[in-house]
Amino acid sequence: MKKNISLYILLGLFTLVSCQKLRDKISPIGILVAGTAVEDRVLMSHQFYRDNLDDKVYLVTKGDYTFLVGSDSHLTTDPGRLDEMLAIGLKDDDLFYAHLGDLADTKAEYYYTLDSLLKEGKWRYVNKHYTPKNEYEWIYNDNPDEDPLPITYDEISFPFYPVVGNHDITHNGWALWSNIFHSSFYEIDVIDILDNGDFAVDHLIFLDSASGTLGQTQIDLINQGVLDGKYDDGTSAYRYTFVFSHTNIFRPQFFEFASTFTREETYFLLDQFEKWNVTAVFCGHVHTWDERNFNGVHYLTLDSMCEQNNPDPGNYLVRINVGNDNLSWEPVKMNYSIKKK
């Protein structure tokens, strides 16, 4: 027994020394989560954002709208549940999709399947919401302009917005994930044209928490105000602000996984959500449903939509109903189940 205890101590010391050299690539609970550290991912993401400011995505809608949120699809060879999510959003005219990370398990063939699925999803989306003007150009069906300018297929953005999860970056998966989505730390504005001709702007913030920590670079950028959207008088420019993170903030139940954010980062986020005047925060990771209000912010933690984790049909998606004077959410049932051989 003494020999075993000594061995455990030696292994622990070796791990501690080794992990010190890799601390940026290891989560706070000691799990190797990536070949690319959160600092590097955020720097690359922010550089991509700055280099593409002219192509910044704005979503434009008229009046009330909805969006669909899912989490932890862990796609492998069977894309059934993710395909169902895209089909539900298309059928019900959701303005956009948000995915809370762990999109696919990290293997090149799985990301090829994911890329093909999203390309097919975009094709169906474009054919529903756009009318071809000629062989190369399309016109948006609900464009408020009387004589809208046509755009090419490549200029049309498919409104599927994910955060990166820990399973997305294992085994150097960041190269696969970023090749499709480019950025893990970004924002999108939704411009809502109201019935009275005025407009309101809603703010979508996507954080990189795949390593279980924000990292100093992301904290520094947030403190610099890159996501603030404040007027000169300090008031918020936004009607509603929604934040999306893979790592959960709260533990759903005492026997579930706790958040891997450090205590200091948790306090930082809670304070920052208040400064941003956040309406709701959406999290995944723990594969368990949770809902709570804290300090005026609504927190929803979603269960996994993966058919391997939850093989039976169930309410694995959430739809957010956004109105100028009201906001609500509802569960959305998924019916796809694993095909029996």
For the stretch 38-82, pLDDT in tens is: 999 999 999 998 888 777 778 999 999 999 999 999 999 889 999
Contacts of 150 (CB under 8 A, 6+ apart): 133, 134, 137, 138, 139
| pLDDT (0 to 100) of residue 106 | 79
| pLDDT (0 to 100) of residue 7 | 36
Taking the CB of residue 177, how many other CB atoms lie within 10 A of it? 25
| pLDDT (0 to 100) of residue 211 | 92
| pLDDT (0 to 100) of residue 250 | 86
Any bridge partners for residue 290, and if so which? 301
> The tokens of 195 are what?
């019935």
d(CA 17, CA 86): 45
pTM assigned to the model: 0.86
d(CA 320, CA 302): 13
| Top-tier CATH class for 35-334 | alpha beta
| pLDDT (0 to 100) of residue 231 | 65
Low-confidence ranges of the chain (pLDDT < 70): 1-35, 143-147, 230-235, 253-259, 339-341
d(CA 148, CA 141): 9
| Domain range summary for the chain, segments of one domain joined by + | 1-32, 35-334
| pLDDT (0 to 100) of residue 146 | 65
d(CA 170, CA 275): 33
| pLDDT (0 to 100) of residue 3 | 43
d(CA 222, CA 245): 14
Using N-to-C axis directions, what is the helix angle for 108-129 and 80-91, rounded to 10°? Answer: 10
H/E element holding 3?
helix 2-21
d(CA 200, CA 222): 23
| pLDDT (0 to 100) of residue 57 | 76
